[in-house]
Structure 1
Amino acid sequence: MSRPRIAVPIGDPAGIGPEIAAKAAASEEVTDAAEYIVVGDKRIMERAVRIIGAENLKIHCVADPGKGDYRPGILNMIDLANLSPQEYEIGTVNGKCGRAAYEYIKTSVDLAMSGQVDAVATTPINKEALKAGNVNYIGHTEIFGALTGTQDPLTMFETRGLRVFFLTRHVSLREMLDLIKKDRIVDYVKRCTEALRQLGVKEGTMAVAGLNPHSGEHGLFGWEEEEEIVPAIEELKAEGYDVEGPVGADSVFHQAAEGKYNSVLSLYHDQGHIAAKTLDFHRTIAVTCGMPILRTSVDHGTAFDIAGTGKASEVSMIEAIKVAARYASNIYCP
């Protein structure tokens, strides 16, 4: 039985991305789940292999993912040869690392768009390094959106059966309040429903989280529920969408994790992040939906404080690859 082929860009070379990519390559869980190919610089990965003490892991460079040797003990990779380890210091922000990280991502996206891989599972990048490297995107989601021609991709978190979408992401709380609008909620629920169908999730109810304490208590603690959220849900139900809410944010994520809802639309960044990461920090995986390709990601940072020590956990990386492999067959790749 063929396994999905997953490309993994190594992220910011000064962070833990190369190390967790190497550890994942040495994992039987990954070997069983997917054909796994790293996109990066061979010199950086050779150092990462030494750092984690995996001397028996053989690096196999190919120009075509179809030529990979996908057996245990082999780290298949596409070598861009774009950054020498002597050009930067592990654990520090460097514009050359930001630029290299972008190039790894772009190559991985190109492979997915051309059908040479089935999905991309990303390692951490650093926003300051991107800026220093004149890469004018704030993060992965924006990069993937631009490279795939997708306007406003959807972010979904998945961990232990809990799926969380986000109405707003990297904006301040003050700005977020201005984005809680009926039309935006209607649009997002429709798009999230379609994204779930694309992933193979076709049954169940989506819940919209409440914003204010007790979902506003009919205006006692805020007006957003009465004026924006409830009208949006009523309109969606009238159109046949299986959606409920607003459901109090203090209970909706627990209820979804228990199976009452197939997903939750979180209204702002930390509302959903806290819920998912508290449930299982290491296995919370970000899935970028609504694009012509599938992207999953670890949901932790570059961890500059432990980069180069070999201490970084590969659990999230392995989970990101497994989630990508599980969903890959349902995603259309041109």
Structure 2
Amino acid sequence: MKETAPYAIAITMGDPAGIGPEIICRALAEMSPEERDGTLLVGDPAIYRRAAALIGASLDFAALEEVYAGDSRIAVAEVPAEAEIADGRISAAGGDLAFRCVKRAVELVQTGRAWVIVTAPLNKAALHAAGHHYDGHTGMLAALTGAPSSFMLLASETLSTLHVSTHVSLREAIERVTEARIAATVAVGHQHLESMGIPQPRIAVAGLNPHCGEGGIFGDEDERIIAPAVRELRERGFEVQGPISADTVFYRASRGEFDLVVAQYHDQGHIPVKLIAFDTTVNVSLGLPIQRTSVDHGTAYDIAWQGRADATNLGAAIAYARRLAAGSES
């Protein structure tokens, strides 16, 4: 058994009916031996072997407990499939395996076997079909770790956004725009950027309504809630501006004026980031007692198990996770 420092990252396979296993094997095939040595997989080894064969990658997998120091095999924390899972289809079996992989990865980090979790995509309908009623990875991780709340960061070299709310209806998202939530979002974003080497992060808070309400003509939330929250944050020493109209703030940030934009709801932040950096945007969970990055795309059932999936986005998520892991080790 390998008795060394914790693995830098633990990668979960996501929904096995989707492209997760394939893109994981593609990413592994592109890694150096040193990077592979610091990588732990979570899932069913048989599924990983099938995916490796699909793409023609010479990868050798072994159970975590069997891998020794200097072993060239890739360690897998085994989470077996408990039923047959059809390729490219939503199923309770696939959703359940995806959930159990994430749960196992959390345990590995909590017990010191790994530093950072990287998640391949799962399907929310499959997750719910299996009886795991979460809004996605972020809410699941919050529940598994006992965190009172969590925040979704979409990080790219050009534009990064952090969200006041994510997977809720637009009506509920508006109700979640509160001074307390905005303050918490800015604070956790500031802390994360500092940990990534930005000493005084410049943060912009997007407005909620068109033109920030235009003096109350299009809604009063910007003046009544967001502006007071920003004033208080500035008094606390944060370098933050807002509310800034959403039709200009993302452009200004992409030009280098801000390090981070706090978006008020899911699509407000997701659309500009995916438009600018669809293939390289990394989903990062903040506010949790563990660290996690993820791809920013779905299971792509339509091309799953056809040898066509692109691992570029997973590669970006792994690279970001390695940066987090390096900070954890120091």
TM-score (structure 2 length as normaliser): 0.91
Going from structure 1 to structure 2, the CA distance change for 1:251 and 1:3 (only over 3 Å counts) comes to farther
Going from structure 1 to structure 2, the CA distance change for 1:33 and 1:270 (only over 3 Å counts) comes to farther
Tell me which amino acid in the other structure corresponds to 1:53.
G
User: 1:22 and 2:22 equivalent?
Assistant: no
Going from structure 1 to structure 2, the CA distance change for 1:227 and 1:89 (only over 3 Å counts) comes to same
- 1:8·1:39 contact (CA, 8 Å) conserved in 2? yes
* SS of equivalent to 1:321: helix
* SS of equivalent to 1:105: helix
* SS of equivalent to 2:77: strand
Instruction: Trace 1:16-165 onto structure 2 (pairs within 5 A).
Output: 16-28=19-31, 32=35, 35-54=38-57, 56-63=58-65, 67=68, 69=70, 74-83=73-82, 87-165=84-162
1:232-271, CA deviations, whole angstroms, 9 ceiling, x for partnerless residues?
1112112222110111212212222232112110001001
* SS of equivalent to 1:272: helix
Going from structure 1 to structure 2, the CA distance change for 1:75 and 1:291 (only over 3 Å counts) comes to same
Q: Alignment length, in residue pairs? A: 326
Quote the Cα distance in structure 2 between the aligned partners of 1:94 and 1:69. Answer: 38
Residue of structure 2 equivalent to 1:278: 275
Quote the Cα distance in structure 1 between the aligned partners of 2:36 and 2:47. Answer: 25
Q: Mark the runs of 5 or more structure 1 residues left unpaired by the alignment.
A: none
- 1:6·1:34 contact (CA, 8 Å) conserved in 2? no
Residue of structure 2 equivalent to 1:321: 318
Instruction: Trace 1:159-308 onto structure 2 (pairs within 5 A).
Output: 159-308=156-305
- 1:24·1:30 contact (CA, 8 Å) conserved in 2? no
Going from structure 1 to structure 2, the CA distance change for 1:167 and 1:34 (only over 3 Å counts) comes to farther
Tell me the CA shift for residue 90 of structure 1. Answer: 0.5
Structure 1 vs Structure 2 CA RMSD: 2.3
Quote the Cα distance in structure 2 between the aligned partners of 1:144 and 1:34. Answer: 26
Quote the Cα distance in structure 1 between the aligned partners of 2:290 and 2:37. Answer: 16
Quote the Cα distance in structure 1 between the aligned partners of 2:285 and 2:71. Answer: 26
Tell me the CA shift for residue 31 of structure 1. Answer: 5.5
Tell me the CA shift for residue 60 of structure 1. Answer: 3.1
* SS of equivalent to 1:60: strand
Moved more, 135-144 or 29-38: 29-38
Q: Mark the runs of 5 or more structure 2 residues left unpaired by the alignment.
A: none
Tell me the CA shift for residue 4 of structure 1. Answer: 6.3
Quote the Cα distance in structure 1 between the aligned partners of 2:207 and 2:251. Answer: 14
1:142-185, CA deviations, whole angstroms, 9 ceiling, x for partnerless residues?
11111212111111110114221000111111221222222322
- 1:24·1:317 contact (CA, 8 Å) conserved in 2? yes
Quote the Cα distance in structure 1 between the aligned partners of 2:302 and 2:257. Answer: 40
- 1:30·1:322 contact (CA, 8 Å) conserved in 2? no
Going from structure 1 to structure 2, the CA distance change for 1:179 and 1:235 (only over 3 Å counts) comes to same
Tell me which amino acid in the other structure corresponds to 1:12.
D
Quote the Cα distance in structure 2 between the aligned partners of 1:94 and 1:127. Answer: 10
Tell me the CA shift for residue 27 of structure 1. Answer: 0.8
- 2:303·2:309 contact (CA, 8 Å) conserved in 1? yes
Quote the Cα distance in structure 1 between the aligned partners of 2:39 and 2:97. Answer: 20
